[in-house]
Structure 1
């Protein structure tokens, strides 16, 4: 898990636990039926909304995303400059020998189309569609976590209503009302806690990663088309720098010195 995610989770847990300890007992916030209602109800709603294979794939992608930091696109910048140099010196067909060493499927596919002699319009259209389809697939993952973030507070409220109904059935014993109300509100706490510490932040994390991957794919596409048009490595680099942040550009120039 990357440092930022781990730090955020630890801080969130720490502040919640500390505030509970300063005001009372942790055991007062532990209630198994409340956990069953919040987690079980939210999971049931999620299974009704989305196919199981999509849910499984999203959780697998989420695990991979949480275990990695921000996407660094500068190595791909250097790769494209190197490929542009080869194409400029030896011709586009010389890139075929480099295809097996390229790990990124998108870049390898684009270069293969160049080697095969596909026109620029065809290359651009196909790779643009691939970017759009990737973004659409990722949006499904975002919506699953966003839905879970909506379901958990709602099911927490359902648990609270169940607790209130049970409490109102025992009005003959006024001494039990305080404890009954506390138990009733625990499910609301669980729902809000899970939603705001896990679901909503993970949704944001996935959205950020999607934006980074789209940016990378667009940079790769720009590089592929620039190589195909016969641009010099310097011109290719100028086009690709548009996709780099100011900090990345400065670091890149410092490394080139």
Structure 2
């Protein structure tokens, strides 16, 4: 789990809570079940109307993406691809079939199996690029759901506040209750704005951020597969992939190429 997402949301909510309490507010006044129902229920309903069921079913997966770490370590992938390049230069690409079947990354496994099967390099690139594009569109759609929720939430908060004020104005017989009643009404606005800016929109941004890292890693794997298929020198493959990912070649996690991997 990516604790920065959990910590960020929790820190934001706690900052609002303790800031309110330290100014003399009462903690219980922040919890209004009617406002919760109007704001969060209304936001969910608006999102449900905006998207088909097939898109809404992606919400659990989107949340897992937002609260989990990004994919495989690029350095480890580079090391593994370089090792496979060494094997391929010694024994041929057919020797990579066993290595491919043991891959944890489906994208890299599929690419290697296409290489082993002798697929045309241009066709290999096209197929893998189509998979990357499809995943990128899916992630954008998932982020869009939370962006929509972030747009609806403040509006629902205002609606809740207006409804609360209507209730207040219909009961003016007791002026002593006006202050507390108005405060309760404005709680809905707080829920709407806080929900949008501390939950929905940050989650959408995190989905996009994690997706960009994943897509970049997939592009690295694509370049690695094509380099293996072309029979490039392992040392050159490492330099290409390291530069491609804008990684520091001197990072201690990046292993040095073995001398025999540099042979032509």
TM range (shorter): over 0.9
Q: What pairs with 1:191-230 in structure 2 (closer than 5 Å)?
A: 191-230=192-231
Hey, which of these two has a bigger chunk of helix by percent?
1
Deviations 1:98-121 (A, max 9, x none): 121111111111111111111111
Aligned counterparts of 1:233 and 1:255: Cα–Cα separation in 2: 12
The SS at the match of 2:231 is coil
Aligned length: 256
Closer/same/farther in 2, CA of residues 105 and 68 from structure 1, 3 Å limit = same
Shift of 1:79: 1.1
2:85 corresponds in structure 1 to: 84
Aligned counterparts of 1:72 and 1:239: Cα–Cα separation in 2: 17
Shift of 1:229: 1.1
Aligned counterparts of 2:97 and 2:103: Cα–Cα separation in 1: 11
2:59 corresponds in structure 1 to: 58
Shift of 1:152: 1.2
Whether contact under 8 Å (1:71, 1:212) holds in the other structure is: no
Whether contact under 8 Å (1:74, 1:252) holds in the other structure is: no
Unaligned runs of 5+ in 2: 258-264
Asked if 1:184 is matched to 2:161, the reply is no
Asked if 1:25 is matched to 2:23, the reply is no
1:8 corresponds in structure 2 to: 8
Whether contact under 8 Å (2:65, 2:210) holds in the other structure is: no
Question: Please, what TM-score do these two structures have when normalized by structure 1?
Answer: 0.92
The SS at the match of 1:250 is coil
Q: What pairs with 1:70-109 in structure 2 (closer than 5 Å)?
A: 72-109=73-110
Aligned counterparts of 1:119 and 1:70: Cα–Cα separation in 2: 28
Q: What pairs with 1:155-194 in structure 2 (closer than 5 Å)?
A: 155-194=156-195
Unaligned runs of 5+ in 1: none
Deviations 1:169-193 (A, max 9, x none): 2334433322222111110001111
Deviations 1:67-123 (A, max 9, x none): 336752111111111111111111111111212111111111111111111111101
Q: Which ranges of 4 or more aligned residues in structure 1 deviate by more than 6 Å?
A: none
Closer/same/farther in 2, CA of residues 71 and 161 from structure 1, 3 Å limit = farther
Deviations 1:143-167 (A, max 9, x none): 0111111111111111011112222
Aligned counterparts of 1:134 and 1:254: Cα–Cα separation in 2: 28
Shift of 1:246: 4.0
Aligned counterparts of 1:222 and 1:150: Cα–Cα separation in 2: 39
